[in-house]
Structures are given as C-alpha cells and as structure tokens.
Amino acid sequence: MKDPVLPSRRKFPRKIFRKKLTFLCRGQATVVEGVEIGEGGLSFKSDFVLDENQKIIVNFFISEGDFFSVRTTLKNKKEGGGHFVYGVGFDDISIALKRQIRAYVARKSNASLELV
C-alpha cells in the first residue's frame, strides 16, 4: 500500500540562502548564517534562544538586489549540532521584496537545473 502524500506546509518554495544576516531581538543585534529563503520567510542558524512566536527584525541583502529590514515572527525551531535553526515568517513585506525573493529563488532553481 502506498503512503499518502502529505501537502507541504509552505505556501512558497524556498532555496538555499547561505548568507550573513542580522536579527534584532530584545534590543540585541546578532549576526547569523542564513539557511533558506522564500517569499513567505527565511530560516537561519543561531545560538541565541528565542521564544515561541517571538517578534524579531531581520536584516539581509539579496544578491543582485537590495538590503531589507523586515519584521518577522518565529514560526518554528529545530535544535541540533549545538545551535538552533529558526524559521521565521515575514509579517508584512513590500511587493518589491517579494519580487526580489521570487527572482532569487528562480535564479537558484534554474542554476540547479543546469547542473543536471
């Protein structure tokens, strides 16, 4: 018997985003390493302990794009390897940022297809 395919919880595709970014939480700015990005949010590695549904501001630069400072909400947290990987959802982002993220994801998707 075949296992049923579960629908993805993500509304938008994500791609690898191994870039430095900063987040501001409780008056402290922390530089961390990004993991993935999509139109709905991003994930990053950190040793900083965040609370469930924590509101933070994330600052990042998109290659071939602009610098952004975005309000986010912590959606999930995974622990492993001596650090956390946090997934945050964008609270309210501009159309310009959505377009730049969509273009970034498309470039990364096309680049991975060219390797096959």
Q: What is the CATH number of the domain that holds 76?
A: 2.40.10.220
H runs (alpha helix) in 17-94: none
Q: What's the structural domain count of the chain?
A: 1
The residue range of the domain holding 28 is 14-114
Residue 30 lies in a domain: yes
pLDDT at 2: 46
Reported as type and span, the H/E element at residue 11 is none
pTM of the model: 0.81
Average pLDDT over residues 79-84: 89
Residue 27 lies in a domain: yes
H runs (alpha helix) in the chain: 95-114
> How crowded is residue 68: how many other Cβ atoms within 10 Å of its Cβ?
18
Residue 2 lies in a domain: no
Q: Contact 25/53 with Cβ under 8 angstroms?
A: no
pLDDT at 88: 97
